[in-house]
Every structure is written in structure tokens, then in C-alpha cells.
Amino acid sequence: MKNTPLCLLLPAALLAALSAGTVRAQTPDTGRYAWQFPVAGTVDTSASDLVDELRHEVQRILDAGHLAPLYVSTSDQESVGYTVYQEPGRIVTTLAWAYPHLTAAQQTAVRLYVAAEFADARFSPWGVTAGGKNGNTNYPLPRGVGTPREEHPKTKWWYERSDFGNNRPFLHPLYGAWLHGWRTGDWAAVDAAWPAIRSRYNNYADSDEARLYGGMAVHIAIARLAERAGDFATRDAALARLQTRLAAGLDFAAIEQIARGAAGEEWRSPYGSYPNMYDNRMNGTTVRGWPWLNLSPEIGRYLGEAAPALRTAVLTRFDEGRAALPFWWLPKLSYFTRSWTGDEGSGVLSEVMGMMTPIERWVLQADAATLASRLRGSPFGRGDCHWIEALVQAIEAHSPVAWRDVRYPALPLETWRTETFGAEASSPAAQDLADWDGDGRVNLLERALGTNALAADAAPLAFGTVTLGADTFPTFSYSRDKTAWDLNYLVETSTDLATWTSGAEATAGVAILDQGRLEQITERALQTSASGPRRFFRLRVTRAP
């Protein structure tokens, strides 16, 4: 019975008028990006080698304890090390991404490790350090604090207190705090830190970093954490900022201006001290991906779908970087990269992986083989956040990914059955294909549609039309319970009730209306209402494998 499909058959001849517009136009859907997160299914066994590699890299972190910043010199410039500095608290994000793929023993160790990070202001994602704008400096940790990440640590450091890199990104680790709670279930640690997280955000929520694509996810994280804490004033403020930033982000040139550090902006890319560094002096030599360094999946999704012009601008920058460094995923490969070092040098740095992989994953939606091929190099020492997170994305590309509303965690079908039918949950009348309330919808459909399985009620299904240009198309709408993660929904169409077609060959999305725990999905036929024979729709619901 597990894979038995259940269908609702509805003739499109019963169409009623329905006005509808485009799904996403020039006004980004703030709720879509604020509340939805990509959830991977069961990873295919073909990714087992990648999983083993991930466990190895995470174990190196766990064995080391607190990590020092990562410095890698790949040039003739003494100040180059700052370019691969990874901020305190950044490792929390990396461990959260890795967590579902670790052994049980490693998962326990990760929770303890992160608890220690949270407890120490020097390493926590919200720790405030002295000096520099925004209370941040290039080197907030003394050289002797934390285990060195380099394979061969230096004994002599040049330019230790360089002003290169002042105002480095430091808000984005707050997203990692939310991610830790979401992917590990360790909400107790995150909830306890909420006052410190909120304070950090409130102090710097309007800084330039929070206006860049790589920093916008901080507003998402705070909205989610505030919702969880019942702090609706902070939630609403974060959502308002997110809405403003998403609207402003449609202008790629304006966001790039912030990364250039021009016009007196307070956040500067590492080359902001030299006005030409971000522009012509680096043309053809490196990747100009600073606006989206530390990109989250939600903002990656936004870059790919919010507006065609934005997607084109981002991919143009991506292609420029790929042309300049065709083997960008080989960090040990020598390149002449004039602007990476403040003057000139050679070698691809860790942050290139952090600029390229998220675009491949969330904008280009590259397949698992492509993402895995980028891992033929090796990470920069221990705890290379960008490389390890690229490894996780390659692993999770080996499974289906569904965007889920984080406000409504999964409620397994069997749990729903017990909650709904109580002591009668194991009775024949409570099983998938039975109809407890006799309203014509079996129990599995009641679960899928979010209707009342105990009392007869109307089906949340509707027909309509949508006009696109000069053409009118029949539409079909149905409700979906956001907590039914273990069910698959598929709209199919037919002209003769014998041959059914689904997917991109049958329907196209029209709109998704958020109704809290439920959402109303509207799809349209590909053929106009006036063309061909009458058309039937049906909704197929199956248990996920």
C-alpha cells in the first residue's frame, strides 16, 4: 500500500472565472525566501565516498577543538594571508551543514563542540571584538589562540596587524546559529543564546554587509529565530529589512557598488583601500564574487529567479571568473592573480570555492556529478569552511530536494494518524484507503489536503482560468499541508481518461498562496481553453519512497 496512488478526477469543462498573475515579478516574494529552506531526501549510495570524506574532515575539526583563523600565503606579498581569513563562529555554519551526514558519535561530538563555541565570546558567532569599524578587525584573535588550521603553520608572520580586511563580513555567522538548530535539533543551545544573537543583529542590522547578497541571510535567520522566541517585534523588523534588501538587490550594480567600497560606504571588499582593485586591475585575473561570498540557499534561489536581469548579471560575473580561472576548484594550482594579493601573486584561494559553488548549486542548479567534480582538489588545511560546505552540497545533490516552510516541521503520516484517530489508529477504518467520515475522500487524501478526516467537509479544490497575453488557459487549484513532507503531489492531465500526462509536458505553475499551515497550489494546462478537446485534471498523491 505504500506506493498506491490516490487520484481526484475533475473535468476542466467546469471552469469558473479566476484572475491570476505571474508568480514572481519585480517585487520579490519576501515570505518565500524568509520561511522556505531546501530539505534533502535520502542520499543515494553513490555519494558514499563523499560522505566518508566529509566525516574525515569533520573529525579533524573535532579533534582540534577551537580553531584559529585560517591563513594561506600564495604570493610574494607579505599581507596576503588575510584574504583567506575565516571569521570566528564561521565553523558553526559548516558543522551544521555536515551534521545529518555524520556518524552518531560525531553528531554528539558536534553538539558539544558548538556548545563550547557558543560559550566562548572569542569563538561564538556573535562575539564582539574590539577595533575596526563595526567593532571588527582583521585579526580579532591573538596568534596563540586556537589550534592552527594550516598543514604547516608559520613561525614568522608578516604584516600581522594589516588594515587590509578591516570590516570583514561578520554578521553572516548568525545564520549559522539558526542553521545549527534546524539541522541538528539542538534548539536548547540556540534558544539560550537568543538575547546575544538579537543584540548583535540590532547593533549592525543596517550595516553594509547586511545589504550584500552574502549578508542578506542574517535577516532571514533573525526572523526565524524571533518567530521561535515569540519576539514578534524583532521578527517583523527583520522581515521588513529583508523586504527592503531584496527589492534593492534587484539592482546588481548598486550592490556591487557597496562591495567596491566606493562612495564612502563603510563595508569594503579587501581591496577597498585601492579604488581600482575591484575593477579594471583584476579584470581577467580573478573572481569578482565578493557581493555573494557566504551566500545562503535562500538568497541563491532569489538570485536565480527573482528577475531575469539579476540572474543575467550574476551569471555574467560567474562566467568572467570561470574564464579567468578555469580550474578555480584546484586551490593548489598556480595562477597569476594580480588583484588577489593587494598587488600580484599566484594561487587560487579558498574563498573562490565560496564564491563559485553556491552559484552552481542554487542559481545554475548543477547536478551531483558537476558539483562532485569540483572536489578533485583538497581543502586549505583543517576546517576550510568553503570547501567542506561545497562537499556537503555535492552530497545532497545526490537526493531530491524540496523547499519546506521551516515554521511547519514534518509531521509523519503515522504520527498524524495517531493524533487524528487516537485509540482507533490501527483499525481498518483509519488506514490510508479507508474513508472514516464517508465524504468521498480517503484518509490519505484528507491528510494530503489538510481537510478534516473525522467529519465530512468540502474538498479544497477549484477550477478556473488564467489569461496570459491573448490566451486563456484552464487552471486547477488544490491545497497542500506543509507538514506532509512524506507525501508526493502530482497534477496530471488527460483528454480521454485513458492516457495521462504529468510534469512539464502537462502543466505549468501559476501561483502559490500561503494560508499558514496550508498552501493553495494553482497549475495551468499548457493548451488554451479554446484549443482541442476538453481536458481533465487529476491530483495524484503517493507516499514518498
**Quick one: pLDDT at residue 275?**
47
**Quick one: pLDDT at residue 271?**
46
Least confident of 21-35, 151-165, 368-382: 151-165
**Quick one: pLDDT at residue 384?**
92
- Indicate the DSSP class of residue 155: S
> In percent, how much of the chain has pLDDT > 70?
79
Confidence of residue 132 (pLDDT cuts 50, 70, 90): very low
Measured in degrees and rounded to the nearest 5, phi and psi for residue 97 equal -65, -40
Three-state SS annotation for 296-345? CHHHHHHHHHCCHHHHHHHHHHHHHHHHHCCCCCCCCCCCECHHHCCCCE
Least confident of 158-162, 264-268, 320-324: 264-268
C-alpha grid cell for residue 185? Answer: 535539533
C-alpha grid cell for residue 296? Answer: 545562503
Residue 476 resides in a domain: yes
The Cα–Cα gap between 520 and 529 comes to 22
Judge if 75 and 212 occupy the same domain: yes
Judge if 64 and 139 occupy the same domain: yes
Higher pLDDT, 543 or 69: 543
Q: Which residues contact 294 (CB under 8 A, 6 or more apart)?
A: 169, 172, 214, 215, 217, 354
**Quick one: pLDDT at residue 70?**
73
Please say whether the beta carbons of 394 and 374 come within 8 A.
Answer: yes
Please spell the DSSP secondary structure of 404-419, one letter per residue: EETTS----HHHHHHH
What is residue 394's three-state secondary structure? Answer: helix
Q: What does the buried/exposed string (b/e) look like for 119-134 if buried means 16 or more CB atoms within 10 Å of the residue's CB? A: eeeebbbbbbbeebeb
Confidence of residue 168 (pLDDT cuts 50, 70, 90): low
Residue 37 resides in a domain: no
pLDDT at 169 over 80: no
The Cα–Cα gap between 391 and 329 comes to 12
Of 399, 431, 449, which marks where a domain is finished? Answer: 399
**Quick one: pLDDT at residue 335?**
59
Q: What's the chain's Rg over C-alpha atoms?
A: 25
Residue 288 resides in a domain: yes
Please say whether the beta carbons of 508 and 49 come within 8 A.
Answer: no
Residue 32 resides in a domain: no
For the question of whether the overall pTM of this predicted structure is more than 0.75, the answer is: yes
Judge if 336 and 466 occupy the same domain: no
**Quick one: pLDDT at residue 154?**
65
pLDDT at 222 over 60: yes
Select from 342, 374, 391, 386 the least CA-distant residue to 74.
Answer: 342
**Quick one: pLDDT at residue 266?**
46
Judge if 425 and 536 occupy the same domain: yes
Higher pLDDT, 27 or 116: 116
Judge if 421 and 375 occupy the same domain: no
pLDDT in tens, 413-454: 999 999 999 999 999 999 999 999 999 999 999 999 999 999
What angle, 0 to 180 degrees and rounded to 10, lies between the N-to-C axes of helices 90-98 and 48-64? 140
pLDDT at 7 over 70: no
pLDDT in tens, 489-510: 999 999 999 999 998 889 998 8
Evaluated on CA atoms 280, 282, 288, 291, the torsion sign reads negative
Please say whether the beta carbons of 342 and 164 come within 8 A.
Answer: yes
Average pLDDT over residues 233-248: 98
pLDDT at 287 over 60: yes
Judge if 444 and 356 occupy the same domain: no
pLDDT in tens, 346-405: 567 778 889 999 999 999 999 999 999 999 888 988 999 999 999 999 999 999 899 999
Average pLDDT over residues 529-534: 82
Which helix H or strand E contains 252, and what residues bound it? helix 252-260
Judge if 429 and 464 occupy the same domain: yes
Judge if 389 and 498 occupy the same domain: no
Which helix H or strand E contains 402, and what residues bound it? strand 401-405
The Cα–Cα gap between 234 and 241 comes to 11
Average pLDDT over residues 104-119: 97
Judge if 136 and 229 occupy the same domain: yes
pLDDT at 411 over 70: yes
Judge if 226 and 280 occupy the same domain: yes
Judge if 379 and 503 occupy the same domain: no
C-alpha grid cell for residue 54? Answer: 566529509
**Quick one: pLDDT at residue 140?**
55
How many DSSP H helices and E strands does the chain contain?
Answer: 17, 10
Count of beta carbons in the 10 Å neighbourhood of residue 2: 8
Averaged confidence pLDDT in the chain: 84
The total of structural domains in the chain comes to 2
Judge if 99 and 217 occupy the same domain: yes
Select from 175, 166, 164 the least CA-distant residue to 197.
Answer: 175
Average pLDDT over residues 113-130: 84
> In percent, how much of the chain has pLDDT > 90?
58
**Quick one: pLDDT at residue 534?**
84
- The CATH number linked to 441 is 2.60.40
**Quick one: pLDDT at residue 4?**
46
C-alpha grid cell for residue 93? Answer: 555554519
Please say whether the beta carbons of 416 and 450 come within 8 A.
Answer: no
The Cα–Cα gap between 277 and 486 comes to 50
**Quick one: pLDDT at residue 241?**
98
**Quick one: pLDDT at residue 229?**
97
Range of 145's domain? 42-399
